[in-house]
Amino acid sequence: MQNRSDSAPARKDWWRGALIYQVYPRSFQDSDGDGVGDLPGLVARLDYIASLGVDAIWVSPFFRSPMKDYGYDVQDYRDVDPLFGTLDDFLRLLERAHELGLRIIIDQVISHTSDQHPWFVESRSSHDNPKADWYVWADPKPDGTPPNNWQSVFGGTAWQWDARRRQYYLHNFLSSQPDLNFHHPAVRSQVLDDVRFWCRHGVDGFRFDASNFHFHDRQLRDNPPAAAAARVASVRADNPYSMQRHVYDKNQPENIGFLRDLRRVLDECGAVSLGEVGDEDALTLMAAYTGDGDKLHMAYSFNLLTPEFSAAHIRAEVEELEWRIKKTGGWGCWSLSNHDVARVLSRWGKEHGDRQLAKTLLAMVCSLRGSACIYQGEELGLTEADIPFESLRDPYGINFWPEFKGRDGCRTPMPWSAEDEHGGFSPEKPWLPVPAEHLTLSVSGQQADPGSVLNFFRNFTLWRRSQAPLVSGDIQFLDAPEPVLMFRRTLDGEEILAAFNLGPKPVRVRVPAGVTGFSAVAGHGLAGELQGDGKLLLGRYDGFFGKLRQG
């Protein structure tokens, strides 16, 4: 089996160029027959994840929660929700993952809590209790309306009236997810202490949800309207949230100081950090939050998680981040799918689920400079599931139906076997249905097919591990006609040329002189062919890797 222990000793900065596999535990593997995935189920599938050749697993929230936002509304930061198992189950996950050479990154949702968290229960009880100022409370305007115009990401005002305190509280997401007041020193201290708790249990890193939402403007000033071109990439145009420039409700300068405090805690225990940055100016924030080695280790945005699909768009996003982090040593992380957006084969493949496109996109995202997150099922080429309204669980989708069906379509259970009921995910009816089209892409079926997306990904990650420029080298894009994306990766005098045809028709493109192809990746699904006239023939949705001679 391929795993980290098969390679050279791990670098201290192993996270630079790492491949991170995101697991959404509810939908990965059910071990106890309740239709919901859990930690023992994840432990049982760790051998599979190790076989993918990834470096780490990002585990979405498993903490105690009322599950109104399916774990992203935390009720207790130090306890495992019984739905997912116990703390001992998590410790077994850590132990087995480390035996396989895998690191564990856990999801920390610290910008807000559940309204059932004991902190909020106490905070809302009066104006003078010890935690009265742990959340963002504000008086109404004289006419009883909310204190300002801030909007919730999930639609509507970001303020919820509370009859106990006769004040509004801020919620950037669901009304059941009140925002913590990071201006309060005790809040910051408590959050850092909860991070230390998991450090003491041996986690390797943290993914920080909504990492630019920690602070708000103390004066509660209104946000200005947004220009159409500046609307938030991760939010639909029909959502009023996209109609504002989010100048005051997030992205506050105080966040830099908190991230430095957070980094000191992480450095004490040798853990790494990955921050989620959702904003119309995400690349600027990614650079600011990862620069100078004293804040987040790496960050990702939604800039490649949008419907916009072209070589020019991908090049522009990567080049801009590279320009912004050049002097500070910051580090990006790229992803094409996650638990919040429609799967990439449906966004970029126009519902066709093309197997060749799936291979090329996997190779492409793993070859950009930065780290990469691979969402569960992406290695199978899964498409977005069409979930009927009566089966929806996501409150975001329920609120915006039918124009937007929410996030359930990318959260359906992993299809392990076409022969087993519910795809081998659970013996009972799962919390979300397993689409029939996903059963044809099951793990067991693809393992037996040498030409499958799964086997391509395994072969590619094994080969990539031996190519240092693809892991941590510099990047330089080369001009090529749309839809071709072409770039060099360079490290210590070694250069690799990567070229990808992101279109459905074959193309011929000129390449630099002196390029020779890699026989190691030939025959694995990328069939780009060098021709004698200095040009490269790329088939539909095809890719190519070549060596560049020095001098």
Give the whole-angstrom CA distance, residue 550 versus residue 160: 63
Backbone phi and psi for residue 124, each to the nearest 5 degrees, phi listed first: -80, -10
Domain ranges of the chain: 4-111+184-462, 473-548
Q: Assign 11 a pLDDT band (cuts: 50, 70, 90).
A: confident
Residue 524: the pLDDT is 66
Which residues partner with 301 through β-bridges? 277
- What span, in angstroms and rounded, lies between the C-alpha atoms of 450 and 442? 14
Burial of 353 (0-12, 13-18, 19+ CB in 10 A): buried
Interval 313-329 mean pLDDT: 96
Gap between the Cα atoms of 320 and 178, Å rounded: 34
Residue 372, beta-bridge partner list:
19, 334
Ramachandran assignment for 65, one of left (phi > 0), alpha (psi -120 to 50 degrees), beta (any other) = beta
Residue 227 has what pLDDT? 84
| Gap between the Cα atoms of 537 and 409, Å rounded | 36
pLDDT in tens, 509-546: 999 998 998 866 765 678 889 988 889 999 999 999 99
- The C-alpha atoms of residue 187 and residue 135 are separated, in whole angstroms, by 9
- Of all residues in the chain, what percent carry a pLDDT higher than 90? 88
Q: Is there a common fold for 4-111+184-462 and 473-548?
A: no
Mean pLDDT check: name the lowest of 98-102, 189-193, 239-243, 507-511: 239-243
CA 386/CA 299 separation, integer angstroms: 30
Please tell me the predicted confidence (pLDDT) of residue 135: 99
Q: What is the pLDDT of residue 351?
A: 60
Q: Which CATH number fits domain 473-548: 3.40.190.10, 1.10.10.10, 3.30.360.10, 2.60.40.1180?
A: 2.60.40.1180
pLDDT above 60: residue 231 = no
Dist. CA 429–CA 412, nearest whole Å = 12
Residue range 13-21: mean pLDDT, rounded:
97
User: Could you report the per-residue pLDDT of 409-419, keeping only the tens digit for each?
Assistant: 999 999 999 99
Measured between alpha carbons, how far is 225 from 245 in angstroms, rounded to an integer?
A: 6
Which residue do the tokens 């963002």 mark?
A: 136
Active site residues: 209, 268
Q: What distance in Å separates the CA atoms of residue 259 and residue 297, rounded to the nearest whole number?
A: 10
CA distance linking residue 147 with residue 398, whole number of Å: 27
DSSP three-state, residue 104: strand
What is the mean predicted confidence (pLDDT) over 89-104? 98
Asked whether the predicted pLDDT for residue 17 surpasses 70, the reply is yes
The whole-angstrom separation of Cα 242 and Cα 151 is: 9
4-111+184-462 topology per CATH: TIM Barrel (3.20.20)
pLDDT for 548 equals 87
pLDDT at 123: 98
Token code pair at residue 77: 């930061």
Which two three-digit tokens encode residue 356?
Answer: 């060749």
At residue 523, the pLDDT reads: 58
| Paired strand residues for 488 | 476, 497
Instruction: For the full predicted model, state whether its pTM sits above 0.85.
Output: yes
Residue 309 DSSP one-character state: -
Task: State how far the alpha carbon of 69 is from the alpha carbons of 37, 66, 214, in Å.
Answer: 16, 8, 18
pLDDT of amino acid 532: 81
Report how far residue 377's alpha carbon sits from residue 399's, in angstroms, rounded to the nearest whole number: 26
pLDDT at 276: 98
pLDDT of residue 497: 96
Mean pLDDT of all residues in 242-248: 95
The single residue listed with the structure tokens 């391509």 is 456
If phi > 0 it is left, if psi is from -120 to 50 it is alpha, else beta; for residue 131 that is: alpha
- pLDDT tens for each residue of 340-396: 999 999 999 986 679 999 999 999 999 999 999 999 999 999 999 999 999 999 999
pLDDT digits (tens, 9 = 90+) for 420-479: 989 999 999 999 999 999 999 999 999 999 999 999 999 999 999 999 999 999 999 999
CB within 8 Å of 436: residues ≥ 6 apart? none
Q: How far is residue 100's CA from residue 40's CA, in Å, rounded to a whole number?
A: 16
Helices (H), 326-385: 344-347, 355-365
Mean pLDDT across the chain: 94
Higher local confidence (pLDDT), 213 or 533: 213
pLDDT for res 352: 65
Q: How far apart are CA 296 and CA 275, in angstroms?
A: 7
Q: Considering only 6-20, 247-261, 330-344, which range has the smallest mean pLDDT?
A: 6-20
CA 364 vs CA 287, 500, 517: distances in Å = 22, 7, 17
Closest CA to 456 of 364, 372, 532, 368: 364
Tell me the H-state helices in 434-487: 436-439, 443-447, 453-465, 468-472
**Distance of alpha carbon 397 from its chain centroid, rounded?**
19
Give percent above pLDDT 70 in the chain: 95
